[in-house]
């Protein structure tokens, strides 16, 4: 009870801090199709400059999986103007930090740096958008790096491997079934010509989004961006992803045996993304089930019954296409995967039959709103959040997020549990440790 009270007090304290007044976002679309969002934030003399390309593993074709992530690596290999490794070197020498990631839906590059060094970042990003060096020898060398990354994060990681196998059975038509890092057999045979074609198709201004937040004057920064990126010609729009996952007709299972200390159980259900009316309720439901020590899965499976060493769940609110609602658990030594699966399904059955308590509902909403407030505390997270909402339909959707969360009712949670967690729609992955 003391722990629960502490959680509620923390959430209440977060909400007691007034949210920042809505700062004006300066938006523009250049003649070549490049989308720009700028948010002034003068609390500290830093800027987060982010490039988001609307391309990820969902844009890959069978036989060439992993190419989006491979290209992310190659984006740091230089141009005729700025040689190999110079991008990261310039950022580091000026006290900044840079990184990148590839997901199913996007590839994102960011630089967080002092405001007076921003001009160099703009020049570097504009240069590698259209002048990237894709040397075959560099591709051969980087291939080994990518394959080693796959080995450590997937092949030799029980959680990563089981998640990949479960996704592969959950989707039969949509490219979300493909791992972001790619299948090993594809990584071994991707050619320089394929990578170059992928780059020329997707790394075009009309498929990109620039978002910056920090200590600048928006009108001046927009002019600099226009001067640097405006001359890059618009190219044909990349081909759209048209695949639609058919309704799942029955339960699917996969069991794998790997070197591991304990079994792992994954359960996944197909759910809609943020565009659906039920998305806020699914987000709240995820909090009720798996957010923190007061959540149902933690209290019941880990604390009370001591069935699980670890357990949780996840809902992909920002997914571009309908995705999966995940549950996972690792049993305590001596417990079986079957017992853990039954316990997880029991939690879902309870949600289907009885509305959650007012205390649980309020806590979940407070957690989501507190998270939204805390994300306004950093120029990096402010820019990132603007980008994510822009990609799913428009940055102004950000202002609708908390009101929609606050409007969710206990009856809605019961409804979405019955709608999206049917017995015939589950995908179950089980990992059995090698003896």
**Which residues does the annotation mark as catalytic?**
72
**Cα(267)–Cα(428) distance, rounded to whole angstroms?**
5
- Per-residue CA distances from 133 to 77, 130, 147, 244 (Å): 7, 9, 21, 35
Q: How many C-beta neighbours within 10 Å does residue 100 have?
A: 16
* Strand ranges of the sheet holding 323-331, from the earlier edge strand across to the other edge: 252-258, 426-433, 264-271, 323-331, 308-315
In contact, 292 and 366? CB cutoff 8 Å: no
Q: In angstroms, how far is CA 35 from the centroid of its own chain?
A: 20
Q: What is the 3-state secondary structure (H, E, C) of 179-228?
A: CCCCCHHHHCCCCHHHHHHHHHHHCCHHHEEEEEEECCCHHHHHHHHHHH
The kind and range of the H/E element at 170 are helix 158-170
Rounded CA separation 81/88 (Å):
14
């Amino acid at each position: 009870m003391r722990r629960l009270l502490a959680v509620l007090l923390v959430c209440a304290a977060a909400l007691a801090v007034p949210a920042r007044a809505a700062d004006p976002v300066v938006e523009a679309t250049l003649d070549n199709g490049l989308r720009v969002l700028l948010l002034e934030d003068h609390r500290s003399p830093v800027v987060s400059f982010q490039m988001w390309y609307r391309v990820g593993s969902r844009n890959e074709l069978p036989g060439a999986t992993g190419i989006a992530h491979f290209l992310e690596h190659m984006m740091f290999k230089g141009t005729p103007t700025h040689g190999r490794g110079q991008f990261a070197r310039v950022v580091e020498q000026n006290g900044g930090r840079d990184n990148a990631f590839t997901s199913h839906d996007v590839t994102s590059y960011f630089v967080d740096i002092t405001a007076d060094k921003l001009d160099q970042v703009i020049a570097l990003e504009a240069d590698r958008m259209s002048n990237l060096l894709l040397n075959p020898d560099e591709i051969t060398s980087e291939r080994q790096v990518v394959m080693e990354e796959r080995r450590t994060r997937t092949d030799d990681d029980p959680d990563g491997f089981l998640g990949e196998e479960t996704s592969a059975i959950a989707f039969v038509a949509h490219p979300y079934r493909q791992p972001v890092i790619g299948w090993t057999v594809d990584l071994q045979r991707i050619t320089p010509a394929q990578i170059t074609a992928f780059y020329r198709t997707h790394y075009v201004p009309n498929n990109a989004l620039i978002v910056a937040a920090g200590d600048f004057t928006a009108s001046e920064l927009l002019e600099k961006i226009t001067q640097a990126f405006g001359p890059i010609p618009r190219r044909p729009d990349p081909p759209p992803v048209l695949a639609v996952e058919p309704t799942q007709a029955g339960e699917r299972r996969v069991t794998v045996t790997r070197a591991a200390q304990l079994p792992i159980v994954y359960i996944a259900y197909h759910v809609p993304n943020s565009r659906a009316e039920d998305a806020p309720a699914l987000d709240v439901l995820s909090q009720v089930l798996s957010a923190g020590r007061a959540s149902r899965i933690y209290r019941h499976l880990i604390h009370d019954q001591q069935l699980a060493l670890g357990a949780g769940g996840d809902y992909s609110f920002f997914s571009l296409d309908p995705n999966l609602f995940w549950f996972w658990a690792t049993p305590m030594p001596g417990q079986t995967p079957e017992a853990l699966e039954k316990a997880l399904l029991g939690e879902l059955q309870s949600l289907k039959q009885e509305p959650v308590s007012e205390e649980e509902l309020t806590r979940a909403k407070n957690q989501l709103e507190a998270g939204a407030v805390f994300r306004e505390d950093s120029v990096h997270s402010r820019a990132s959040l603007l980008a994510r909402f822009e990609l799913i339909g428009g940055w102004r959707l950000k202002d609708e997020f908390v009101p929609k969360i606050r409007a969710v009712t206990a009856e809605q949670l019961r409804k979405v549990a019955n709608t999206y967690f049917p017995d015939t729609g589950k995908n179950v992955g089980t990992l059995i440790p090698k003896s």
